[in-house]
Structure 1
Amino acid sequence: MDILWQYQFRIILLGDSTVGKSSLLKRFTDGIYSDVADPTVGVDFYARSLDIEPGIKIKLQLWDTAGQERFRSITTSYYRNSVGGLLMFDLTNRKTFEHVREWHREVSEDILPHHMVYILVGHKSDLGRERKVTRDEAEQLAAELGVRYVETSAKCNSNVERAFDLLMRDIYELMKMGEIAKRDGWDGVKSGLTAKVLYPAEEEAEREKGCNC
């Protein structure tokens, strides 16, 4: 039986084939890692629920997209129904880093006039000696795209939780500010059976001040 949740966020993982999207998701959702991974064909689905604050559980619906060009027509149909995206590259493969802008542009243009919340992820940080992209370069790209940056390793389970937690919290804060809202016919954000009404911070403080309970 599904754990009760207040909100569901639909997240999509983006990046070239072999950057480790499936490995990151399996580590995050199942706590396992394998050196052998079959290429994703089309789209795979994962899910996990997390507590974001007392009494508020977020269900992350996670979509692993194929990085190969021949599957692009399949994966693009999932862009519009996502509220967040992990832009991933392989720290040991410079071409995957150079392609991040293309992924960002493709998705951003496809979902206009709406926008998606991104986080930039440099994966395979355990392979330090084979590194081809410096942290400074990656942080500069993140700054240009206006997103956070985190380096992860599914193999060592380094910053895996942090990557998803940062993205989830950014989306949640934008919801509280009213910049992200549920829309008819859109699956990016859904409410559970016990959804909490979100108010801006100032209004929330006033409500608590006036509460006699």
Structure 2
Amino acid sequence: MTSGSSCQPWAVSSFFTYTHNLESATVKFEIWDTAGQEKYQSVCHLYYRNAHAALLVYDIAKKETLKKAKLWLEELEKKFLPDEIVIALVGNKTDLAAEREVTTEEGAEFARTNGLLFMETSAKSNHQVNDIFMAIVQELLRREKEKASAPSPHERSTIDLKEGTPKRRCCWL
């Protein structure tokens, strides 16, 4: 990931871009990292209103961060219809396994019951960080293919994956 400048320094703690080239498309993630801080919750909707994906990240060594991820999910559910956005629950800091307070099963169960992608990662050791982004891309492609094969006049495409369409937005909460 390459660090970029924040759009609003008072509203977002970090801004990153991540580009992934596929045979059928180039996907560019624009990631606003709020570090889960409540002070960003009131303005975060400005950043994720056109998002195609969101990552709800919690610290596996701090149970209260999973509770905060649940609150962020409720916020996203107020803004998006169920199939409008891909949401992934990410248990981070697997490098701190000895200090684990949230079991893998607990995270996976929460994700399953809410229809979220799930993965555990370590940003410190880069364990499965790329994998979660690839899982999101695959889910976006799957949804687009599904919509293309069964179009409905009431559905609208959430993402155009034609070659040469480089921008996708993602919010890391």
Please, which of 105, 111, 117 is the counterpart of residue 142 of structure 1?
Answer: 111
- The alignment's TM-score, normalised by the length of structure 2, stands at 0.76
The yes-or-no answer on 1:75 pairing with 2:44 is yes
1:181 maps to 157
Which residue does the alignment assign to 1:130? 99
Residue aligning to 2:164:
194
Whether the 8 Å contact between 1:42 and 1:66 is mirrored in structure 2 is: no
Q: 1:136, 1:114 → 2: CA distance?
A: 24
Distance 2:140 2:161 in 1: 14
Distance in structure 2 (CA, Å) of the matches to 1:127 and 1:148? 22
Partners of 2:110 and 2:33 lie apart in 1 by 23
- Relative contact order higher in (CA < 8 Å, ≥ 6 apart): 2
Structure 1 contact 150–163 (Cα < 8 Å) conserved: yes
Cα offset, 1:68, TM superposition: 2.2
In structure 2, stretches of 5+ residues that fail to align are 4-8, 148-154, 166-173
Alignment of 1:1-213 (within 5 A): 29-30=1-2, 41-43=10-12, 44-52=14-22, 54-112=23-81, 115-178=84-147, 181-182=157-158, 189=159, 194-195=164-165
Amino acid at match of 2:19: S
Q: Which protein is bigger by CA-based radius of gyration?
A: 1
Specify the SS of the correspondent of 2:61.
coil
Aligned length: 152
| 8 Å Cα contact 1:108/1:116 also seen in 2 | no
Deviation of 1:107 after TM superposition, in Å, equals 1.0
Q: What do you get for the CA RMSD once the two structures are aligned?
A: 2.5
Q: Which runs of 5+ in 1 are unaligned?
A: 1-28, 32-39, 183-188, 196-213
CA distance in structure 1 between the aligned counterparts of 2:27 and 2:39, rounded to whole angstroms: 33
In the superposition, relative to structure 1, how do residues 149 and 180 fare at CA in structure 2: closer, same or farther (>3 Å)?
farther
CA drift of 1:192 comes to: 7.2
Distance 2:141 2:109 in 1: 25
